Amino acid sequence: MAKKTQMVIGTWGIRSSFHSLIGLLLTVLIIAAVYLTQDRGRPSEDRTCGGDSLSHCNLFSGKWVFDNQTYPLYKENQCTFMSDQLACGRFGRKDLSYQNWRWQPHQCNLPRFNATALLERLKSKRLMFVGDSLNRGQWVSMVCLLDSWIPPKLKSMSSNGSLITFKAIEYNASIEFYWAPLLVESNSDDPVTHRLPERIVRVKAIEKHARHWTDADILIFDSYLWWRRPKMNVLWGSFESPDDAIYKDVEMLRVYEMALRTWSDWLEVHVNRTKTQLFFVSMSPTHERGKDWGGGANCYAETEPVSREGYWGSDSDPKMMRVVETVLDELKTRGVNVQMLNITQLSEYRKEGHPSIYRKQWDSLTEEQISDPSSYADCIHWCLPGVPDVWNEFLYAYIVHNKQIRCSFMMQRWNRKKTHFPLLVVLLLVFIVFTVLYNESNIQRIQENPDHVHHHQEASDRYVKPNRLNPGQEVLDRFSKCNSTRDYSGRRIAWVDRPAVNSQRRVASQTCDVFSGKWVFDNTSHPLYNESECPYMSDQLACHKHGRSDLGYQYWRWQPHNCNLKRWSVTEMWEKLRGKRLMFVGDSLNRGQWISMLCLLQSVIPANKRTITPNAPLTIFRAEEYNATVEFLWAPLLVESNSDDPVNHRSDERIIRPDSILKHASQWEHADILVFNTYLWWRQGPVKLLWSTEENGVCEELDGLGAMEMAMGAWADWVASKVDPLKKRVFFVTMSPTHLWSREWERGSEGNCYNEKTPIDLEGYWGSGSDLPTMSMLEKVLSRLGSKVSVLNITQLSEYRKDGHPSIYRKFWETLRPEQLSNPASYSDCIHWCLPGVPDVWNELLFHFL
């Protein structure tokens, strides 16, 4: 009887648990089906989108309609700022029908341009076009669209190098154009003299241009025309030092992608995502091959648009468009939305819209050219009024009617969702049939094999009952294996699942960002050790030993905002390290953190049970009782370099092998816990790249950031292929800030960290010693590695500690000159950190996560 009862209970257990699963799935499907069939689930045009037909429209899909009633939107001769390059009527063009074509989207009407509405939206804002002469043409078009609506005394035009600014004084608004035809630095950056036989670009250099864009509210970029050649000459170095530069011909598409990624990295770091609207104008087509549409030599004498729908000329490069789309899609995943103005297809039809021969010619025409007008016809730029006005109508729609356009994507998603309903019905029927068959087979199996129930019951007995008294804690416990520490950009870094003894302790760390907090003066519990009692203290970091009398820097404790940092425990840390190798890999800052760790750990190990054995670049501290080592490997650039000697590493030039990491990796690959850093050594000018170990190896020069990105790529490849997160913990320490300019925290001051005695009390302070483009690059590299690497984000918290550096209180390896001695600030070390001090907190953070 008991066995029968047990069988019934087991049967019910199986059926009940499976029914619960199926019930849940069926419930989800039924709710989804009901949602999709109800009218109230559909966004109402009247309620959500204002009833405008724009709400379900692809603006870029349509046709050109002749309309001489409402077009052109302005008169060529009435635009004060018309360009001679685009004023086709002024230079003799008689057929003006190119001005009367209106773009008609298939499913809606493009909003009528309203200058007043746009000016109201631009009040106290900067609208800036950045790019080449085609983008300048769009800027001229925008100025002409607004010009007649502004009284002469309330508008102005000014030029400053590459930047031209039109101001609407009454609205405190500016419409600007910045000449940067390749977006990154190039030898074509002069806005007047830029036609050179050879095109040279610095694909990693954009700051020269970008500093002019930083504060703009609306940015419209383009870059295409100047890339049209098989190869580009890439400069590794600077235009100011051409004799020291390295030039290399690279396939155009690759260089184009590199330049766009430099541009996208700049946007990600510098753009205010809540304030700035970003647009990228797709390639403007040329009409230089009449055979593409069955015409003459080119656009010369053309008077009508191409009538064939879907026409695509041979001068528009789909591969370049795909590169742009890829870069913009990646930006969107990183939280930066750049709206593509897809003007290519619609402009392809307009073969008659170019100036042809009707424009100012900057160079005198030859007799041969005059005898064959098509030979000098401009089939690249566009007459005004004309095609660029429509591009600006799109821009106007996105700026002024942005809400309705967003609604259009909601409507499109709704229409796509409706098509899924038949599939949901089929899935529903499949689940019903599967449920019946499964349960019948289970009942039959249990009747044939009652022992199965016994095993099932044993399994149920091992099941831990949920915490009914505290369901919130139950949920936290369930997810306690996920760590919520953040990296420096706020992105979550997934940590490997690890068992913990105390779930409450695990939960506490998850609900807190330990890198966000403040420094608290605490002379009760800090410092965690005495400088004079650490036998492994470095003379470079022993500030008190070398004369520093104010010891306040030792008493500051890091206090996270929403929790307490786990209290340092020497014995607990040694238990974590039992039978393991903890290795720090990097430069002198990482060596400082390693020394801090030794000083924190050594006090509980008897002198006869600990040893330290320097072995060239690798130094090993061993604790016999725990069979554990704490090691430091000197590898300041992670990859092989001419600075790999731990003593003699200061050379006039820095040379790396960017693809070679195995020499160092062979020493760290068997460590159980790895703590990496690299930053400082990339900040000291250009880096030479050696592509062979032979004496005649190829050597080229690259800026520090570009070279660091290549080296980090090699390191990341090693981590991705060699690290098993279940067996090895890998940490990356973000950049340690420097404090070289006191004017950054005290206006008007001209010193550095010398004589500083207290931290900076300005929350969120960020100095120039921490490089944002470098952090952005590191974020991209580290985010690709996921849970294989955890980030110790020490940058922001260390920024506050201007008082924590050795300054003049350390051993200097070279004799100081009289002029240095007379000016102590001139030789202050504002890079490294005194011990006890800031690196102890970095190790507390490491302990917290171990």
Half-sphere exposure in the Cβ direction for 681 (13 Å, CA):
30
**408 in catalytic set:** no
Of 684, 682, 683, 664, nearest in space to 674 by CA: 664
Residue found by looking up tokens 């580290």 in the block: 782
Could you tell me where the DSSP H helices lie in 38-83? Answer: 45-48
CA distance 654 to 703: 11
Of 144, 168, 175, nearest in space to 78 by CA: 144
The residues, ordered by sequence, that sit 6+ positions from 131 with a Cβ below 8 Å of its Cβ are 180, 181, 183, 220, 221, 222, 223, 281
> Sign of the C-alpha dihedral, residues 110, 111, 112, 117?
negative
Tokens of 34: 């009901």
Is there a contact between 500 and 480 (Cβ–Cβ < 8 Å)?
yes
Task: Report how far apart, in Å, the C-alpha atoms of 326 and of each of 27, 210, 280, 316, 338 are.
Answer: 38, 22, 13, 17, 12
Tokens of 200: 């040279």
Q: Dihedral angle at the C-alpha atoms of 45, 49, 55, 59, nearest 10 degrees?
A: 160
CA distance 299 to 307: 15
CA distance 530 to 643: 33
CA distance 792 to 187: 41
Chain centroid, CA 620 distance in Å: 37
Is there a contact between 119 and 173 (Cβ–Cβ < 8 Å)?
yes
CA distance 227 to 231: 9
Single out the catalytic residue among 132, 189, 317, 378: 378
Chain centroid, CA 548 distance in Å: 42
The residues, ordered by sequence, that sit 6+ positions from 786 with a Cβ below 8 Å of its Cβ are 493, 494
CA distance 409 to 319: 26
Burial of 28 (0-12, 13-18, 19+ CB in 10 A): exposed
The residues, ordered by sequence, that sit 6+ positions from 590 with a Cβ below 8 Å of its Cβ are 584, 632, 675, 676, 677, 733
Edge to edge, what strands does the sheet with 699-702 contain?
640-641, 654-657, 687-690, 699-702
Half-sphere exposure in the Cβ direction for 112 (13 Å, CA):
6
Edge to edge, what strands does the sheet with 231-236 contain?
185-186, 200-202, 231-236, 246-251
**317 in catalytic set:** no
CA distance 498 to 725: 10
DSSP state of 563: S
Task: Report how far apart, in Å, the C-alpha atoms of 253 and of each of 38, 286, 694, 784 are.
Answer: 49, 19, 31, 24
Q: By three-state DSSP, how is residue 406 classified?
A: helix
CA distance 302 to 551: 82
Single out the catalytic residue among 55, 56, 132, 133: 133
Task: Report how far apart, in Å, the C-alpha atoms of 835 and of each of 229, 309, 476, 598 are.
Answer: 57, 73, 38, 11
**Angle at 828 (CA atoms; ends 826, 834), nearest 5 degrees:** 175
Single out the catalytic residue among 56, 287, 354, 381: 381
Task: Report how far apart, in Å, the C-alpha atoms of 574 and of each of 537, 622, 729 are.
Answer: 20, 11, 16
**652 in catalytic set:** no
AA identity, residue 492: R
DSSP state of 365: P
Give the residue numbers annotated as catalytic, written as ranges.
133, 378, 381
